């Protein structure tokens, strides 16, 4: 470790137990920083570039250290030789510990002029809005030191972290100053989700110390740096909150987030341990991330919007806040043990399924080993563009006196209807980019018995199919009034995953005016691109009794045998 003498401004190397007590500086980098090469050319303070912004910070840091009785200080700009890749790598992996071992950390806020923030005052806003709180590297510099003191642009004392914690908490989203290390992986990621770094890779490298992991920095790898960080975390922590992220833009299908941005809504996610369920460790294979889940199939969902039978709920050992039900993500079965994450912008609360999950977790036969590949295109739906075929069997509807009266497609340029058989209506959706969605629908209307009934309002229902980001869904919409299918859906269909946002449009029970219940099921064919909707009808018991009586011969009444 290389330290700067606070009186001579000379650098000296220290190793192991020989490291003396030192102060350390936390700051935002500017355009006039003093580098390792610059400081070597400074023999005395009189030869220093006194008008340099970087030197002003170093001089102020050394002055505070001398006043506190410390003969040494560490400043990242001049104590690291960044021309040496080996030294830079060592420094990046050691930096958290260097801040933790320091006697005191001086946080220099170059854009703050106040002496002390006050409640409900513009001074508190100036403190909270300092860009120091928005930089990636300053997160570990805030949390690692045991003693941290804030200074304004003139090196005037503002206050220490403990006394200013309420303002710091508002600026960072970190609730617990002392117990922050017990926070879940998702919570820690949320603290970094709105922070910025000059180089994209540093968003990952600046978090290594926070999680106690090490890895070599590889500048130029881009977002893969954050993927590597998550893999290192998985090797160290058994914390499934690392999968509790949301990213509506990603189409990779993997379990790992592309950047800390995906954790912006994860600040209140808590992990919990299930002592009855000892999962095997995670491992990365050529088939993807290997993990074990008690998967719930579509029949367990109890949802009005039906997912295809290749969609599974994968429960996570974490929840929103305390004493709340666990969450789950959606996985799509590809083949064998291979799955993909879909609808990554959604985390599902498992309130209704908690008891079921608890039972499944205790039953080894229901646990399933899955492989989830990051950025794989083995499934046709993850290639762009992709083609989809959807069909509805119309024979069952026809047998129940319903005919197709209207058709709708949200983006006609992506496909159209193809009538292939008398008992089926089918359409193709082609050349749809993975991040776009398409909605199609069929309106079924009950046949009138005679001309006198033609003017009356008849039973109607609309089968709505949506494909978005490789997730196929089906819903039954019961129209109210006399709006056409075009008018109904043009008001409701939106870009993106509109069916999730508009789930209230699809009631849990799809009851027609007659009391008949219409249900649906969506299956995926073996070819991987064909979905089939199955429609069924169930009459209420009272209507069944009336129908049975009407089918008896005149003057005969069915009697129950004693």
Answer yes or no: are the C-beta atoms of 330 and 318 closer than 8 Å: no
Q: Which of 39, 49, 46 is nearest to 73 (CA)?
A: 39
Give the pLDDT of residue 338.
92
Do 452 and 537 lie in one domain? The reply is: yes
Calculate the average pLDDT of the chain: 85
For the ranges 189-198, 401-410, 488-497, the one whose mean pLDDT is highest: 189-198
Q: Are strands 283-285 and 437-446 parallel, antiparallel or unpaired?
A: unpaired
Distances from the Cα of 354 to the Cα of 294, 321, 350, 364, angstroms: 12, 16, 6, 17
Q: Which of 44-58, 130-144, 282-296, 420-434 has the highest mean pLDDT?
A: 130-144
Rounded distance, CA 195 to CA 133, Å? 8
The helix or strand, by DSSP H or E, that contains position 314, with its residue range, turns out to be: strand 311-320
Which pLDDT value is given to residue 397?
A: 85
pLDDT band at 558; cut points 50, 70, 90: very low
Is the torsion defined by CA of 182, 186, 190, 193 positive or negative?
Answer: positive
Looking at residue 181, the DSSP 8-state letter turns out to be G
Question: Which phi and psi (to 5°) does residue 122 adopt?
Answer: -60, -25
How much is the CA Rg of the chain, to the nearest whole Å? 32
Confidence check: pLDDT of 169 > 90: yes
Tracing tokens 């997160």 back to the chain, one arrives at 139
pLDDT in tens, 4-56: 999 999 999 999 889 999 999 999 998 889 999 998 887 555 555 667 899 99
Whether residues 337 and 413 share a domain: the answer is no
CA distance 440 to 151: 61
Residue finishing a domain among 361, 376, 391: 376
Query: Do residue 262 and residue 398 come from a single domain?
Result: no
Q: Percentage of the chain surpassing pLDDT 90?
A: 49
Per mean pLDDT, which range of 86-90, 383-387, 401-405, 549-553 is the poorest? Answer: 549-553
Specify if 224 maps to a domain: no
Query: Residue 529 sits in which domain range?
Result: 381-543
Per-residue buried b or exposed e for 502-512, using 16+ beta carbons within 10 Å of the residue's own CB:
beebbeeebbb
Residues 118 and 87 in one domain: yes
Confidence of residue 275 (pLDDT cuts 50, 70, 90): low
Buried b (16+ CB within 10 A) or exposed e, 545-557: eeeeeeeeeeeee
Tokens at 145, concatenated: 């030191």
- Greater model confidence, 279 or 123: 279
Q: Roughly how many angstroms between the first and final C-alpha of the chain, as a whole number?
A: 96
Do 295 and 267 share a structural domain?
yes
> Among 160, 39, 26, which residue's Cα sits nearest to residue 98?
26
Q: Please tell me whether residues 354 and 416 are part of one structural domain.
A: no
Q: Would you state the pLDDT for residue 218?
A: 97
Q: Residue 553 falls within a domain, yes or no?
A: no
Residue 372 and residue 331: Cα distance in Å, rounded?
A: 9
Q: Which range is least confidently modeled, 220-229, 235-244, 453-462, 497-506?
A: 453-462
Q: How confident is the model at residue 443 (pLDDT cuts 50, 70, 90)?
A: very high
The answer to whether residue 229 is domain-embedded is no
Average pLDDT over residues 207-219: 97
Answer for the pair 471, 340: CB distance below 8 angstroms, yes or no.
Answer: no
Tell me phi and psi for residue 141, to 5 degrees.
-70, -25
Residues 379-423 pLDDT 10s = 555 554 467 788 898 888 888 889 888 889 887 666 666 655 567
Banded model confidence at residue 524, pLDDT cuts 50, 70, 90: confident
Cβ proximity of 411 and 400 under 8 Å: no
Where does the pLDDT of residue 549 fall: very low under 50, low under 70, confident under 90, or very high at 90 and above?
Answer: very low
Residues, the chain:
562
34 in helix, strand or coil? coil
Say yes or no: 472 and 485 in one domain. Answer: yes
| CA 234/CA 228 separation, integer angstroms | 10
DSSP 8-state class, residue 89: H
Tell me: do 330 and 429 sit in the same domain: no
**Residue 144 and residue 128 share a domain:** yes
Whether residue 268 is contained in a domain is answered as yes
Residue 58 in domain: yes
Are residues 136 and 249 both part of a single domain?
Answer: no
Q: What digits encode the pLDDT tens for the residues 67-81? A: 999 999 999 999 999
Last residue of a domain, one of 376, 394, 412: 376
Record the tokens describing residue 201, joined without a space. Answer: 């890779």
Two tokens, residue 340: 């993909």
Asked whether the predicted pLDDT for residue 288 surpasses 60, the reply is yes
CB 367 within 8 A of CB 361: yes
171 found inside a domain: yes
Q: pLDDT grade, residue 210 (50/70/90)?
A: very high
Across the range 364-387, mean pLDDT stands at 68
What was the pLDDT predicted at 468?
82
- Span of 156-170, 295-309, 337-351, 433-447 with lowest mean pLDDT: 295-309
Report if residue 237 sits inside a domain.
Answer: no
Residues 402, 357, single domain; the answer is no
Tell me, yes or no, whether 457 and 535 share the same domain.
yes
Position 65 scores a pLDDT of 98
Tokens of 135: 């930089």
* Number of structural domains found in the chain: 3
In a domain, 209, yes or no: no
How many helices (H) and strands (E) are present in the chain, helices listed first?
A: 16, 25
- The residue ranking higher by pLDDT, 420 or 222, is 222
Whether the Cβ atoms of residue 528 and residue 536 lie closer than 8 Å to each other: no
Eight-class DSSP state of 309 = T
Structure tokens at 263: 């954790």
Which one has a higher pLDDT value, 27 or 456? 27
Confidence of residue 66 (pLDDT cuts 50, 70, 90): very high
Residue 562 has pLDDT above 70, yes or no: no
CATH number for the domain harbouring residue 408: 2.60.270.20
Q: Hey, what are 157's tokens?
A: 């004392």
Residue 541 scores a pLDDT above 70: no
- Give the predicted TM-score (pTM) of the model: 0.83
Q: Name the residue among 401, 419, 412 with its Cα closest to residue 461.
A: 401
> Which pLDDT belongs to residue 455?
44
Closest CA relative to residue 221, chosen from 195, 203, 243: 203
DSSP one-letter string for 479-539: --SS--HHHHHHHH--SSSHHHHTGGGS-SS-B-TTS-EEEEEEEE-TTSSEEEEEEEEE-
CA distances from 149 to 176, 191, 257, 532 (A): 18, 20, 34, 64
């Amino acid at each position: 470790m290389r330290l700067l003498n606070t009186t001579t401004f000379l650098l000296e190397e220290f190793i192991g137990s020989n490291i003396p007590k030192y102060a350390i500086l936390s700051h935002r980098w500017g355009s006039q920083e003093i580098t390792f090469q610059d400081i070597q050319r400074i023999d005395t303070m009189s030869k220093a570039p006194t008008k340099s912004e970087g030197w002003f910070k170093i001089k102020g840091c050394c002055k505070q250290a001398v006043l506190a009785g410390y003969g040494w200080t560490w400043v990242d700009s001049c104590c690291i030789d960044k021309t040496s890749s080996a030294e830079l790598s060592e420094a990046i992996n050691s930096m958290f510990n260097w801040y933790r071992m320091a006697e005191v950390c001086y946080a220099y806020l170059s854009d703050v002029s106040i002496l002390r923030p006050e409640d409900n005052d513009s001074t508190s806003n100036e403190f909270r809005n300092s860009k120091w709180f928005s930089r990636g590297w300053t997160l570990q510099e805030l949390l690692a030191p045991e003693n941290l003191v804030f200074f304004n642009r003139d090196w005037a004392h503002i206050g220490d972290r403990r006394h200013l914690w309420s303002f710091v908490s508002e600026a960072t989203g970190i609730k617990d100053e002392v117990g922050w290390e017990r926070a879940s992986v998702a919570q820690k990621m949320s603290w970094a989700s709105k922070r910025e770094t000059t180089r994209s890779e540093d968003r990952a490298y600046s978090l290594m110390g926070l999680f106690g992991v090490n890895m070599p920095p590889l500048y130029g790898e881009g977002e893969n740096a954050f993927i590597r960080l998550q893999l290192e975390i998985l090797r160290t922590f058994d914390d499934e909150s690392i999968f509790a992220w949301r990213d509506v833009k990603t189409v990779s299908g993997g379990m790992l987030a592309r950047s800390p941005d995906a954790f912006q809504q994860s600040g209140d996610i808590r992990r919990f341990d299930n002592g009855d369920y000892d999962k095997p460790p995670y491992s990365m294979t050529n088939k993807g991330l290997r993990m074990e889940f008690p998967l719930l199939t579509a029949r367990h969902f109890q949802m009005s919007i039906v997912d295809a039978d290749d969609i599974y709920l994968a429960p996570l050992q974490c929840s929103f806040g305390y004493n709340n039900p666990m969450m789950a993500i959606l996985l799509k079965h590809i083949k064998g043990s291979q799955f993909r994450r879909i609808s990554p912008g959604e985390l599902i609360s498992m309130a209704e399924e908690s008891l079921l999950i608890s039972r499944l977790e205790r039953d080894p036969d229901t646990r399933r080993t899955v492989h989830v590949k990051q950025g794989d295109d083995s499934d046709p739906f993850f290639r762009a563009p992709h083609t989809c075929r959807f069909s509805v069997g119309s024979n069952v509807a026809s047998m129940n006196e319903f005919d197709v009266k209207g058709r709708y497609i949200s983006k006609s340029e992506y496909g159209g209807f193809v009538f292939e058989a008398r008992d089926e209506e089918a359409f193709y959706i082609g050349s749809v980019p993975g991040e776009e969605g398409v909605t199609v629908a069929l309106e079924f209307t009950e046949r009138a018995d005679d001309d006198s009934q033609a003017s009356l309002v008849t039973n109607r229902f609309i089968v709505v199919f949506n494909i978005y980001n490789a997730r196929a869904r089906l819903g039954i919409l019961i129209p109210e009034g006399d709006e056409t299918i075009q008018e109904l859906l043009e008001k409701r269909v939106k870009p993106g995953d509109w069916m999730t946002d508009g789930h209230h449009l699809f009631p849990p029970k799809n009851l027609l005016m007659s009391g008949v219940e219409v249900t649906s099921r969506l299956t995926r064919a073996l070819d991987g691109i064909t979905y089939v909707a199955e429609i069924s009808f169930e009459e209420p018991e009272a209507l069944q009794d009336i129908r049975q009586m009407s089918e008896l011969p005149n003057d005969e009444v069915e009697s129950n045998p004693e």
